[in-house]
Amino acid sequence: MAHENIPAVTDTILNFIGGDYRRGSTGKTFDNFAPATGLRIGTVHEASEADVADAVAAAKAALNGPWGKMTTAERVKLISAVATEIERRADDFLAAEVADTGKPRHVASHIDIPRGAANFRMFADVISTTPTESFATATPDGGQALNYVVRKPKGVIAVICPWNFPLLLMTWKVGPALACGNTVVVKPSEETPRTAALLGEVMNAVGMPEGVYNVVHGFGAGSAGEFLTSNPDIDAITFTGETGTGQAIMQKAAVGVRDISFELGGKNPAVVFADADLDKVVEGLSRSVFLNTGQVCLGTERVYVERPVFDEFVKRMTVAAKAFKPGATAIPPTLAR
């Protein structure tokens, strides 16, 4: 599309390790494409196993060093500053997200980028108001023992993100991990690497200690994903993606018995009864089925319709589906209302 506002020139997307942007140590790269145009718009430097090991080591050093020695109040101040800096650079994050995903600017500017900032601010607020629990118990000598809960970071967290809401879902993981005092190594989807890399600039700008936030680029098996989940210094793994990849990660996590947190999508049904208001049904399903071109974990994947209204429902839903037209990312979408 000649009128599409996506850069035709290419740029370079680097790994972010220990506060520095780095090329992959082996020199391997892969192309970054704009799905809205099909144009090659970037070159991504793939992280080698040594690069991933460096990122994990940087995260561990930060955990045992400046980040681990900070008070909760000090962490909260930095994490809140990250949210503010994302908002200040909203246009940069918007351009990066639209280039990577091809989604309408209207959607990304109202959902993806604001939520990316809000995820940091919200978890900073939550952790700053989480109370310490304590209670007394009687002892055999007639005295009392005071029991209290000490919450400690889990450690170095591997964060593996999907491509449908790259910034939003990445910060949904990174925000609480940092708020709880952990450090992270992020592997964004190879299809949408830009906002994860850009967030490194924000971390440096607010004075986040080196190694707290790291980004490695690559693929799954035989690449950054496998190198990351196989690293013995990873203490927990959080992953959003498809089931097959989740199974592979679970096998890696079993070595050392690391904690895992998976979100493997959904197959969410809708049930339409004969007495339903079909106009409202079609309007609602048009959003839940087609929002973000259907690439939403909580979207509707199947619809069960009672037989008396089946034919009429199919006819109306077909008309609604055909009303959606592909267009340039700058055009306001039909569904964003």
Do both 188 and 276 map to the same domain? no
The domain boundary, picked from 240, 263, 286, lies at 263
SS in 3 state form for 155-172?
A: CEEEEECCCCCHHHHHHH
pLDDT of residue 337: 36
Query: Who wins on pLDDT, 139 or 194?
Result: 194
Please check whether residue 286 lies inside any domain of the structure: yes
Q: pLDDT class for 324, splitting at 50, 70, 90? A: confident
| pLDDT at 295 > cutoff 90 | no
Give the pLDDT mean for 74-86: 99
| Residue 124 confidence (pLDDT) | 97
Confidence of residue 292 (pLDDT cuts 50, 70, 90): confident
H or E, element range at 204:
helix 194-206
- Of the pLDDT bands very low, low, confident and very high (cuts 50, 70, 90), residue 10 is low
pLDDT given at position 9: 45
Per the structure, the count of domains in the chain is: 2
Task: Check residues 168 and 11 and name the one with the higher pLDDT.
Answer: 168
Residue 336's pLDDT is 41
Q: 87, 201, 263, 301: which is the annotated catalytic residue?
A: 263
Q: What percent of the chain has pLDDT over 90?
A: 80
Q: Please list, in sequence order, all residues whose beta carbon lies within 8 angstroms of the beta carbon of residue 82, skipping any fewer than 6 positions away.
A: 120, 199, 202, 203, 206, 208
pLDDT digits (tens, 9 = 90+) for 251-289: 999 988 899 999 998 779 999 999 999 999 999 999 999
Q: Rounded distance, CA 104 to CA 2, Å?
A: 16
Q: Are residues 232 and 102 in the same domain?
A: yes
Query: Would residue 2 count as lying in a domain?
Result: no
Query: Which tens digit of pLDDT belongs to each residue from 211-258?
Result: 999 999 999 999 999 999 999 999 999 999 999 999 999 999 998 889
Q: Are residues 256 and 279 in the same domain?
A: no
Report the chain's mean pLDDT, rounded to a whole number. Answer: 93
For residue 193, being part of any structural domain is answered with: yes
Query: Are 286 and 153 members of one domain?
Result: no
Strands 40-45 and 11-13: parallel
More confident residue, 267 or 83: 83
Task: At 320, list the tokens.
Answer: 């609604």
Q: Is 332 inside any structural domain?
A: no
Q: Is residue 168 part of a domain?
A: yes
Measured in whole angstroms, the distance separating CA 198 from the mean position of its chain's CA atoms is 13
Q: Are 58 and 18 in contact (CB under 8 A)?
A: yes
C-alpha dist (Å) from residue 296 to 163, 270, 292, 300, 314? 10, 15, 7, 9, 22
In this predicted structure, what is the pLDDT of residue 333? 55
Active site residue 263: yes
Domain that includes residue 91, residue range: 12-129+146-263
Co-location of 284 and 236 in the same domain: no
Does the structure show a pLDDT above 50 at 195?
Answer: yes
Sign of the CA dihedral 168, 171, 11, 31? Answer: negative
What global pTM score does this model have? Answer: 0.91
Domain match, 170 and 302 both: no
SS3 251: helix
The residue-averaged pLDDT of 17-40 equals 96
Q: Given this model, what pLDDT does residue 130 score? A: 87
pLDDT band for 293, please (50, 70, 90 cuts).
confident
Whether 205 and 294 share a structural domain: no
62 in the same domain as 29: yes
- Over pLDDT 70: what percentage of the chain? 95
Task: Check whether residue 243 and residue 281 sit in a common domain.
Answer: no
